[in-house]
Amino acid sequence: MAVSIFVVCATALLLAPQLRVASPQPPAQFRRPASSRPRARPPRAGVPGFSTWLRKEFGDAYCGVPDKYAADVLCFDMNSIVHTQLRRSKNESHAFVRIFRQLHATMRVVRPRQHVLLALDGPAPLAKMATQRERRRKSADKSTEKGLSPLYATPGTIFMQRLEEALVYFCCEQLCTQRGSGLTFHVSGAETPGEGEFKLLEWLLAQDPPRGGKRPPSAVIVGGDGDLVLQALQLRGGWDVSVLLELPTKRAAKEGIEPRVSVGALRDSLEEQLLESVGKGGKGGKGGGGKGGGGAKEDDVALALEPVALFALCGNDYLPKVREASFDRLWLGYAALRRTEKFRDARLVRRTAAAAGSVTLDGPFLAALLRVTAACAQRASAAAAAAIEGGATPSEARASSAAVGLDPKSLARLADEAANWRVKPPAEATSVASQRAREYVDGVLWTAQLYCAGGGRGASWAWRHERKFAPSALQIARWLDGAAAAELAPPPRDANGPLPAPLFCSVVLPPHVTRQMAPRDLSRALEPGGALEWLAESHAAEAAAAAAAKEAAIARDAGADAAGADDGDDDEEEGEAAAAPETVALEELIARAAALPDGALPAPLLRRSAALAAQPAWLCVRRLPPGDDHAEAPPGLPKLPRLPPRPPTDRMRPLRKGGLTCAWEPAGEALR
């Protein structure tokens, strides 16, 4: 008997590769070589280095995931999951299987009680488009891509359309189980504008959680971006929030790495440090209130935006880094300034009553902070130069001098000097340095408004910081000395909204990639004589300009080395000119794409994405209560999908018909 079972199993294993239906293979240049299967790591986007600093400075806010851990709302920022699984997948079907496996594993670790949110990245604002375009151009040039290319995760590609359909299948599959039958699933696809994490933030901000219960309503946000913590700090009004940066593993437990951030504990630690800095005492040990996140006070609401504005100076997806800035210098300098009499009750960012989500900056406070930061950086540079003369390597010198000037006595002296700084007459507002400083401050305000509004719909979709490098800290401080209050408001909102996903895809991806990954009608439009021929020509001209700029930079560096040129601000200006290969402004490309006449592209290509760009909405999937009728799409929104959908791969089983319903849920509205 045992021998017969062995023979049957062995035969099945041998025949399985022949019986399995082959999935469509991506083009060779977008598929990893079969020789290796490397362990991919999730991308760490957002604010570079923030997660590392946060874990070091506020380690008590990090905690493990308890057994039988549950949350009322489980939110998935799908971007990191999709990118990670694409890099590990052999084909599209394999990617769907791996994504589902990751979702199942997470829902076993964190059991949702009421709602599950799945948010894909949609068309982004112009500020992020410029960054995405540059990254995708570089990624498309790589010929040794491991796994499937992350370019498949661009809104408007065939893969992202199929992924949204696959996620609807996943929701229906869960609703057909006993454990998931009482849940409500919400899906925001890649055709709905906005980045996934901001869609989640907007949904949570729109809800009015019930008060007075035995426990506060809880939410867990799952994603790989460190700045999810900054976004979770914006939640208030009774939420108990945690951010799960990765699933707990035996290896992480062995190394003592805690995967979950308690936002309530982090908020308590932030408040405690600031209360201590102004001499008002704390509330106990660091990270107190680990369960945290109960009733957020008015001070907590104001405090939540302070780290956003502070750490925007360290660079993010929208702004370059101020050269002198570091997380320690900014945070410790901020706390030192709050100890001075002048800035004891100051706030770097304040919400205003001008409009929903509107913010303003405290110019003198930010100028003083930048002067403290510049002074600390100057001392650290001098210490690093001395260490190099003593025989240390540059990396060793930078590491040993990073904390120079950050001791309490030095910071207190620098803070007093900055608080009592005698303001000199401002430079001409038309000077290049003043213009650069103003543009950068606009970016800090825009970033704060993006977080404040939730979902980015309160911020301008047409703003971006065009320069490659940030001005120096002192250049910004000098401009702030003479800035009027009206100049410390974020860029005004524009009438134009986001591009539909197919047009976004054609602008962001190089044409040869678009032809491989996008719908056939969009690929034809890029061919000679097509409606988007001019866009393909622009991409080609920009690629040629980028290659020429790279060659010019190499030649200039060689000439500078031969002449023994010194480093200085002039190098930054030269690099600025060399690093801007746009032959046609991105704004002009977007305007031309948005102004295409009716009929230039086939109507089915744009119909669904154009409707969701005009009226962003979530697809709500749940079990059909007895006596309820199936919902119909409201006017202006796309037709609702048929339930249950077909299995996305041959390895998944068809679902039984009946008992399920779906409806469109307008983004930014509270649940009824």
pLDDT (average), residues 229-256: 82
Q: Give the model's pLDDT for residue 491.
A: 82
The whole-angstrom separation of Cα 315 and Cα 153 is: 24
Average the pLDDT over each of 98-102, 152-156, 191-195, 285-289 and give the range with the smallest value.
285-289
pLDDT tens for residues 356-412?
567 888 999 999 999 999 999 999 999 999 999 999 999 999 989 989 999 999 999
Instruction: Give the sign of the dihedral formed by CA 481, CA 482, CA 486, CA 491.
Output: negative
Residue extent(s) of CATH 3.40.50.12390 domains in the chain: 56-120+155-292+630-666
In whole angstroms, what is the distance from residue 309 CA to residue 242 CA? 22
What average pLDDT is seen over the chain? 82
Which of 492, 62, 423 has its CA nearest to residue 262? 62
Which class for 664: exposed (0-12), middle (13-18), buried (19 or more C-beta within 10 A)? buried
The more confidently predicted of residues 210 and 431 is 431
CATH topology of domain 56-120+155-292+630-666: Rossmann fold (3.40.50)
pLDDT of 248 reads 77
**For residue 187, what pLDDT band results from cuts at 50, 70 and 90?**
very high
In the predicted model, what is the mean pLDDT of residues 268-275?
82
Q: Are 368 and 346 in contact (CB under 8 A)?
A: no
The first and second tokens of residue 333, run together, are: 């300098």
For tokens 């809880």, name the residue: 218
pLDDT at residue 350 tops 70? yes
Please list, in sequence order, all residues whose beta carbon lies within 8 angstroms of the beta carbon of residue 324, skipping any fewer than 6 positions away. 373, 374, 376, 377, 378, 472, 473
Q: Percent of the chain scored above 70 by pLDDT?
A: 79
665, pLDDT greater than 50: yes
Average pLDDT over residues 292-315: 70
Give me the count of residues in the chain. Answer: 672
Looking at per-residue confidence, does 37 or 316 come out higher? 316
Each residue's pLDDT tens digit, 528-550:
999 998 888 888 787 777 777 77
- Residue 61's nearest CA partner among 280, 330, 320, 260 is 260
**Whole-number pLDDT of residue 430:** 60
Q: What is the pLDDT of residue 221?
A: 96
SS3 content of the chain, % helix, strand, coil (to 5): 50, 10, 45
* pLDDT at res. 629: 58
Nearest to 447 by CA among 198, 669, 638: 198
Predicted model pTM: 0.86
Of 314, 600, 622, 316, the closest CA to residue 451 belongs to 316
Portion of the chain with pLDDT greater than 90, in percent: 47
Q: Please work out, in degrees rounded to the nearest 5, the angle formed at the alpha carbon of residue 244 by the alpha carbons of 38 and 131.
A: 65
Distance CA 473, CA 462 (A): 26
Query: Quick check: 670 pLDDT over 80?
Result: no
Is the confidence at residue 176, as pLDDT, over 50?
Answer: yes
Asked which of 32-36, 117-121, 433-437 is least confident by mean pLDDT, the reply is 32-36
**Which pLDDT does position 299 carry in this prediction?**
53
pLDDT the model gives residue 374: 96
Region of residue 194 (phi > 0: left; psi between -120 and 50: alpha; otherwise: beta):
left
Cα end-to-end distance, the chain, whole Å: 61
Q: Tell me the C-alpha to C-alpha distance, in Å, between residue 429 and each of 220, 469, 483.
A: 47, 20, 9
Lowest-confidence region among 11-25, 83-97, 131-145: 11-25
Q: What is the pLDDT of residue 574?
A: 46
Whether the pLDDT of residue 598 is over 70: the answer is yes
Note the Cα 385 to chain centre separation in Å: 36
pLDDT at 645 over 50: yes
pLDDT tops 60 at residue 561: no
Mean pLDDT of 454-479: 85
> Average pLDDT of 223-240?
86
- Cβ pair 669, 206 in contact under 8 A: yes
